[in-house]
């Protein structure tokens, strides 16, 4: 289902009945994210929170091809906050630097507020993924923790949080955006 159109591209809700979309989503993610995810991880996110998976198509070029995807979820955290979590985000290399990822993150934030009245949104990204850090920090996410050897490739991660409600902004500390 079409959610919005921006710069001639279609932003759609994932269709849980579409085997083709499931396959394409798992393929584009496996191709461009370092961490290998099993099919069960995709099932977990896409079956439980289909409302938080959005895809992008350039329908003038190809009606079916997915050129960007974001997968997220929302859950209570320690019984005190409703926490949104961005699990996976990938844009086809030929479509990068056109704000597609920013649009997908903003769309997810908007829907998490609308459907679940979230307090905050969290994610992890590799310490060396400067593109992802730039993207998320330009949208207001802040570094809260460095997670040592978090990924299978042994790289560290930064945990980033975007506070939505005031109570989520009340923390002892955020890390400097210049931390490495
Ligand atoms: C990271 C990724 C999702 C960015 O997608 P995108 O659609 O090109 O991002 P946007 O066009 O919305 O860029 C948003 C901002 O981030 C910056 N940015 C994006 N990629 C960048 C890169 N590789 N290096 C430096 N800055 C980058 C943009 O310049 C832009 O900054 P601006 O607001 O100052 O202009 C995409 O490169 C990708 O799919 N990478 C592989 C998978 C990945 O790393 N996913 C994130 C894992 S958490």
* Closest ligand 1 atom number to CA of residue 123: 48
| Three-state secondary-structure class, residue 18 | coil
How far apart are alpha carbons 73 and 110 in whole angstroms? Answer: 13
Q: Which of 54, 53, 35 is nearest to 45 (CA)?
A: 53
Regarding predicted confidence, which is higher, 71 or 176?
71
Is 71 among the domain residues?
Answer: yes
For range 6-27, the mean pLDDT = 97
- Name the percent of the chain lying above pLDDT 70: 99
Is 12 among the domain residues?
Answer: yes
Is 96 among the domain residues?
Answer: yes
* Residues near ligand 1 (Cβ within 6 A): 32-33, 89-91, 96-102, 125, 129-132, 134-135, 138
Q: Ligand 1: distance of its center to the CA of 80 in Å?
A: 32
Place of tokens 């798992």: 26
Residue of the CA atom closest to atom 40 of ligand 1 = 90
Contacts of 61 (CB under 8 A, 6+ apart): none
Is 128 among the domain residues?
Answer: no
Is 22 among the domain residues?
Answer: yes
11: CATH: 3.40.630.30
Q: In the predicted model, is pLDDT for residue 139 greater than 80?
A: yes
Backbone angles phi and psi of 29, in degrees to 5: -70, -45
Kindly list the distances between the CA atom of residue 158 and the CA atoms of 21, 37, 132, 139, in Å, as whole numbers in the listed order. 30, 19, 11, 16
Is 162 among the domain residues?
Answer: no
Is 158 among the domain residues?
Answer: no
Number of structural domains the chain divides into: 1
Is 34 among the domain residues?
Answer: yes
Report residue 172's pLDDT band, with 50, 70 and 90 as the boundaries: low
Expressed as residue numbers, the domain containing 80 is 2-120
């Amino acid at each position: 289902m079409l959610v919005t159109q921006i710069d001639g591209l279609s932003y759609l809700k994932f269709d849980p009945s579409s085997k083709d979309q499931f396959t394409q989503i798992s393929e584009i993610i496996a191709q461009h994210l370092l961490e290998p995810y099993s099919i069960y991880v995709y099932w977990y996110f896409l079956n439980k929170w289909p409302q938080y998976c959005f895809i992008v198509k350039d329908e003038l070029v190809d009606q079916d091809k997915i050129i960007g995807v974001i997968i997220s979820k929302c859950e209570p955290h320690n019984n005190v906050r409703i926490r949104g979590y961005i699990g996976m985000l990938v844009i086809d290399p030929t479509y990068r630097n056109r704000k597609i990822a920013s649009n997908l993150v903003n769309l997810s934030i908007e829907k998490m507020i609308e459907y679940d009245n979230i307090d905050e949104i969290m994610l992890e990204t590799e310490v060396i993924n400067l593109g992802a850090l730039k993207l998320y920090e330009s949208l207001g996410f802040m570094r809260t923790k460095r997670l040592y050897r978090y990924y299978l490739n042994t790289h560290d991660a930064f945990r980033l949080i975007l506070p939505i409600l005031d109570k989520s902004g009340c923390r002892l500390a955020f890390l400097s955006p210049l931390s490495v």
